């Protein structure tokens, strides 16, 4: 029997103890499939780590739910307090563009790129294109240092093709389970830091195991639960006759 760690064991106060959490998560997590459950095709991405946890375990994760504090950088409780009755996943291309960049930032970028090529040249022969790039970068550095107005500049990660994965989930708004709403959250991904070091992150998605296995009407008429009160069911073609004794 695994227990959730009582206190944060991460190196920094804003990081959760992922290794300890994984022991609990792997013992509690369930598998969902589009055929058997109310879930879209699951995202397949080596940089994405997520677990489906039944709602009966949700209270155990309360110490990691911090609505009034900055969230953990390496852990996301995607829908704490709103267990999902259906799930769908999608991704979006995210990028930034910063026009008219500061001269200091431009020079720093050029210097870092130039230094990287110079350091590489100490251990191996640069290719012709790398040598040309080194020469070009050095000239640009000197030009922009002396006369920054010669060039228009901007920074962008557009061609990094970074994609955010989102989880859209449907949940009951009230205890009577008579009204449902939908929300979505982006998921955390493992990120690669300098020198190939990977910063691990994980996501916890809470589910309602009773309703994730069957569709819930969007019209809130609760037809499925009304029909469940009829013990006798006779199907003829596409129509079913439902019967129950009066007074029962």
pLDDT tens-digit map of 199-246? 899 999 999 998 898 765 554 456 666 677 778 776 766 667 777 777
Indicate the DSSP class of residue 48. Answer: B
pLDDT value, residue 11: 43
On whether the CB atoms of residues 59 and 2 are closer than 8 A, the answer is no
Q: What is the mean pLDDT of residues 146-151?
A: 88
On whether the CB atoms of residues 169 and 181 are closer than 8 A, the answer is no
Using CA atoms in the order 53, 7, 73, 171, what is the torsion angle rounded to 10 degrees? Answer: 30
Q: What is the mean pLDDT of residues 13-21?
A: 88
Q: Which residues pair with 132 in a beta bridge?
A: none
- State the Cα–Cα distance between residues 168 and 84, nearest whole angstrom: 9
Residue 75: pLDDT band with limits 50, 70, 90:
very high
Segments making up each domain of the chain, as ranges: 18-87+166-216, 97-156
Indicate the DSSP class of residue 21. Answer: H
Q: Which residues of 192-216 are buried (b: 16+ CB within 10 A; e: fewer)?
A: eeeeeeeebbbbbbbbbbebbeeeb
């Amino acid at each position: 029997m695994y227990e959730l760690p009582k206190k944060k064991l991460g190196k920094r106060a804003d990081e959760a103890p992922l290794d300890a959490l994984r022991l609990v998560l792997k013992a509690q997590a369930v598998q969902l499939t589009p055929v058997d459950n109310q879930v879209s095709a699951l995202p397949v991405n080596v940089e994405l780590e997520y677990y489906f946890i039944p709602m009966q375990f949700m209270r155990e994760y309360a110490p990691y739910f911090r609505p009034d504090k900055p969230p953990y950088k390496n852990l996301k409780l995607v829908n704490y307090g709103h267990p999902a009755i259906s799930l769908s996943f999608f991704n979006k291309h995210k990028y930034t563009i910063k026009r008219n960049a500061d001269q200091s930032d431009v020079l720093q970028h050029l210097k870092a790129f130039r230094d990287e090529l110079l350091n590489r040249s100490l251990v191996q022969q640069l290719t012709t294109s790398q040598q040309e790039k080194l020469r070009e970068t050095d000239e640009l550095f000197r030009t922009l240092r002396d006369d920054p107005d010669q060039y228009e500049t901007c920074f962008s990660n557009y061609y990094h093709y970074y994609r955010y994965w989102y989880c859209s989930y449907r949940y009951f708004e009230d205890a009577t389970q008579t009204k449902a709403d939908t929300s979505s959250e982006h998921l955390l991904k493992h990120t690669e830091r300098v020198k190939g070091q990977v910063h691990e992150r994980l996501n916890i998605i809470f589910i309602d195991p009773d309703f994730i296995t069957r569709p819930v009407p969007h019209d809130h008429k609760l037809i499925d639960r009304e029909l469940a009160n009829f013990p006798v069911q006779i199907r003829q073609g596409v129509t079913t006759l439902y019967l129950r004794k009066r007074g029962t």
